[in-house]
Amino acid sequence: MSTFIQLTYFVAAVLFILGLKAMSSPTTARKGMVWAGIGMIAATIVAFIPSTATYAWQGDHVATNIGLAAAAVVIGSIIAWGLAKKVEMTDMPQMVALYNGLGGGAAACIAAIALLQGHAANYVQQSMAVLGALIGAVALSGSLIAWGKLDGKIKKSWQFSWIQLVNGLIFLGALALGAYLTSTIDLSGTHAVGQDTITLIVVFFAIALLFGVTLAMPIGGADMPVIISLFNALTGLAVGLEGFVLGNPAMMIAGIVVGSAGTLLTKLMADAMNRKISAILFKKFGGGGAGGDDSVEGSMKETDANDTAINMAYADRVIVVPGYGMAVAQAQHKVWELTELLMDRDVDVRFAIHPVAGRMPGHMNVLLAEAGVPYDIIEDLEDINPEFATTDVVLVIGANDVVNPVARTNPDSPIYGMPILDADKAKNVVVVKRGKGAGFSGIENHLFYADNTRMLYGDAQKAIGEVIAGLKAL
């Protein structure tokens, strides 16, 4: 039986890795999710085989604990299935942040059991348990704050002069208390954990949860894609550490895969914004106003749906730049309908996706895939940028910072040096926008004031619908 168990864990690990690899391409992402899901189901079922029972199941209540665990799996699966089926695509970032936080919370709960019941066989494992507890708790509370900001329940960023000093003191306090717990808890398992130690463990978790809150609260909305990815990496790391404590290969491998992939994605996202991860965590940017000279010359010039339809109908090449405004309006289906009409007129249409467009990594790709947009007309920043100069019309739908030319021209701008989509180099630009305000990061977009740019105000779904009507009337 032991050989079968270890073989199952090995197969699960292979499925995790193959699934992650398949997720790197939109054409195979669905297959990758299925493979990883099968691996997780297999690892979960094997965990219920008696010979794999962990320390938490030892004693006279093995059957009861297994029954409770099975009930929790069933109830959690039903709830998750129902919520996932109902969630709107615009709310997908919130769901990702919430579920990611729950993963960190689960790892923290495993650590709590390890600390209370003496699972660790030595001080190395005890240190792993404490570190996993800290990281998992931070991922839980931080992800919940990210969820609140993405969902609009938390409107402001928490900023004051000494915020980073306070964060540092909280973190050092958690580390010090964790180190004390590591050195004082009896590892022999012969003595029950005393009330004083239980109190210290509760205080330790409270401080760790507080640190997650104070870490995430100052971070503005523009940096949320990077932060979600970072907390995802922390959750994976916490799971991997607790897997080491429990001696569970599936947890170790799954945690390492998630942690390493999340870390790499965080680095790539930060590079796409030309920002250091430390700057995102410890400097104010996004959602709270920007520094530097933000003065704009000229004025925004309005257009209407009929003029937009004429310009696009007689163009040779059109590039569509989707942003969060398209997601909010759920306009992706209308955008694809417009694209099909233009293609029927032999217009070459491409979609340009910036790595940090939307509210999470790959947000725009998911929305376009839902609408049925073919993968072969969706281009990344590096591939599409050289084509803007020869493009007749660029249609920007709810995007802001990713097309802001001050990233190239104004050294005083907070986004200076950030790679952007070169929409301003096209012959004509039409921006679909709900109003005249600045974007999510609070930075004024100079593209909107350019001579070759026209503003089409209104809800994206309604505006694109009017453009479609105008196109059909030609």
Q: Any idea which residues carry the catalytic annotation?
A: 401
Nearest Cα residue to 451 out of 466, 435, 436, 429: 429
Contact 97, 139 (CB under 8 A): no
Contact 100, 143 (CB under 8 A): yes
| Cα dihedral 372/377/381/384 (nearest 10) | -160
Distance CA 471, CA 474 (A): 5
Residue 97's CB is within 10 A of a number of other CB atoms, namely 27
First to last CA, the chain: 72
Name the burial class of residue 236, with classes exposed (0-12), middle (13-18) and buried (19+) by CB atoms within 10 angstroms of its CB: buried
Contact 38, 59 (CB under 8 A): no
Alpha helices in 47-118 (DSSP H): 62-86, 92-117
Nearest Cα residue to 247 out of 136, 70, 129: 129
Distance CA 136, CA 112 (A): 11
**DSSP characters for 170-184?**
HHHHHHHHHHHHHHH
Distance CA 275, CA 280 (A): 7
**Range 305-316 burial, b when 16+ CB lie within 10 A, else e:** beebbebbbebe
Can you say whether the dihedral through the CA atoms of 67, 69, 72, 76 is positive or negative? negative
Instruction: Provide the total of helices (H) and of strands (E) in the chain, helices listed first.
Output: 17, 6
Give the containing element (helix H, strand E) for 379. Answer: strand 378-380
Can you say whether the dihedral through the CA atoms of 330, 333, 336, 338 is positive or negative? negative
